[in-house]
Amino acid sequence: MEDVTASEAYIGRQAVLNRNQQLIGYELFFRASSHSRTAEQHAQLDADTQVLLNTLNHMGTQWLVGNRLAFMNVGEAMLASDFLELLPARRVVLDIPSTLVPTGELVSRIRHLRALGFSISLDDFSFDAPSASLLELASYVKLDVQCNDATTLRTLNARLRHYPVLRIAERVEEHEHFHRCRELDLDGMQGFYFARPETLSAKVIDPSFSNALTLLNLLRQDAPVGEVEEVLKHDVALSYQLLHFVNSAAAGLNTSIGSFSHALTVLGYQKLYRWLILLLISRKPGRDSSTALEKTALTRGRLMELAGREAGLNGESLDNLFIVGLFSLLDAVFDMPMEAVLQHLHLPDNITAALIDGTGPCAAFLRLALACETCQLDGVERLCEEVGIGPAALNQAHVEALAWAEQLRV
């Protein structure tokens, strides 16, 4: 099989517990590989961006933290960027380093983020640290039990009781640390004493650089939704990552999004524009090749969409057919079972049923497309009857789908 530009994304995760040692959330941090055990020295913005990108696109907040909180380290550059608005605000605690110097502009930005629903945590807290001036905006402070002796920790804790913040001990690694935290009646703890950080991974496929740029230009021009949808249909990776992101972002809406038009409605152009910028600045160099596998997926999706149109379907039903065809080769792209690929994508049931079980209203169209590809024509007539189109209409749809994929120069 041809190289299909799949790689791995990694993220570190450490549990944050309350005073009763119950899980309240996870701190997320950058990992360069599956063997990493510490946070490598990386440019702050690069590390923050990779955590954000992996959280949004490759893993999803729901998989990483479930219904608990995600504590995410953010430096000055990430705080000032628009990318944070892509996250589910009420599930995210922004962990601000003690060295951050709060300018008037940054304070205004943090107030705005709080108004959106984000919580603020002050890492490695000290009243002498530059970040201490943000205490009135914080919901959490983290106290390093190894950098502060027992007396200093006791004094810090006593002063913090006058502020409406939760006090979390970090770097709790020994029984002595744990006992000290219990004595001080701190609100939460995290550290090796409870569990070592785990490194999670997910497969990654990168979108076409040119398609992402085309999409950016269309959004900048406030182009019609139909034109934006057409670009998305040309790129398997872009489509996959968009639906992964939007379903993760919509996890609290009790709905699954399986069409581009629905995704665009939920996100809006501004949020989609920010997401694309994040994709582009995080993209690995030298990964812009298209493959025969991608061409097959595109052709399959287009054929199913055209066949559905001939059968009298419209709107979201046609979108679903295109998505099923487009995503039907994701197991080959990622080299893993389809169930594992779709586990965290949260697509509508009819799409998932077609891709995993071969059942539901889209499944017969998928079987018809597969029969056309493999030239197994014995069952084509029966399948045409099942979906409600004639053999001649199918032939025409197949020719049009092949021509469409060729025009994309995939």
Range 163-180 average pLDDT:
92
CA 119 to chain centre: 20
Give the sign of the dihedral formed by CA 396, CA 310, CA 316, CA 325: negative
- Taking the model in full, what pTM does it have? 0.62
Fold held by 9-201: TIM Barrel (3.20.20)
Range 332-343 average pLDDT:
79
Q: How confident is the model at residue 243 (pLDDT cuts 50, 70, 90)?
A: confident
108 or 39, higher pLDDT:
108
Tens-place pLDDT, residues 257-315: 878 888 888 888 888 888 887 776 655 544 443 466 777 888 898 899 999 999 999 88
Instruction: Give the Cβ contact number of residue 310 at 10 Å.
Output: 17
Rg over alpha carbons for the chain, rounded to the nearest Å, is 25
- Please report, for the chain, the start and end positions of each structural domain, with discontinuous segments joined by +: 9-201, 204-407
Q: Which of 37-41, 227-231, 305-309 is most confident?
A: 305-309
Return the structure tokens found at 174: 């020994």
Range 322-334 average pLDDT:
83
Range 212-238 average pLDDT:
85
Residue 63, pLDDT above cutoff 60: no
Instruction: Give the Cβ contact number of residue 329 at 10 Å.
Output: 19
Instruction: Give the Cβ contact number of residue 112 at 10 Å.
Output: 11
CA 133 to chain centre: 33
Return the structure tokens found at 399: 């020719």
Residue 27, pLDDT above cutoff 50: yes
Tens-place pLDDT, residues 364-394: 999 999 988 876 667 788 899 999 999 889 9
Dihedrals φ, ψ of 7, to 5°? Answer: -140, -165
Residue 355, pLDDT above cutoff 70: yes
Tens-place pLDDT, residues 64-107: 566 788 898 888 888 988 888 888 888 899 999 999 999 999 99
> 3-state class of 191 per DSSP?
coil
Taking the alpha carbons at both ends of the chain, their separation in whole angstroms is 16
Please report the pLDDT score of residue 262 as a whole number. Answer: 86
Q: How confident is the model at residue 23 (pLDDT cuts 50, 70, 90)?
A: confident
Please report the pLDDT score of residue 265 as a whole number. Answer: 86
Stated length of the chain: 410
Q: How confident is the model at residue 201 (pLDDT cuts 50, 70, 90)?
A: low
Range 33-62 average pLDDT:
54
Computed over every residue of the chain, the mean pLDDT equals: 81
- Choose among 84, 157, 71: nearest CA to 121: 71
CATH superfamily, with its number, for domain 204-407: Hypothetical protein af1432 (1.10.3210.10)
Range 249-254 average pLDDT:
55
Could you tell me whether strands 23-30 and 69-73 are parallel, antiparallel, or unpaired per DSSP bridges?
A: parallel
For 103, residues 6+ apart whose C-beta sits below 8 A from its C-beta are none
Please report the pLDDT score of residue 280 as a whole number. Answer: 66
Cβ distance 338 to 380 under 8 Å? Answer: no
DSSP track, 232-273: HHT-HHHHHHHHHHHHHHTGGGT----SHHHHHHHHHHHHHH
Residue 246, pLDDT above cutoff 90: no
- Say how far apart CA 387 and CA 23 lie, in whole Å: 50
For 113-127, 208-222, 299-313, which range has the lowest pLDDT when averaged over its residues? 208-222
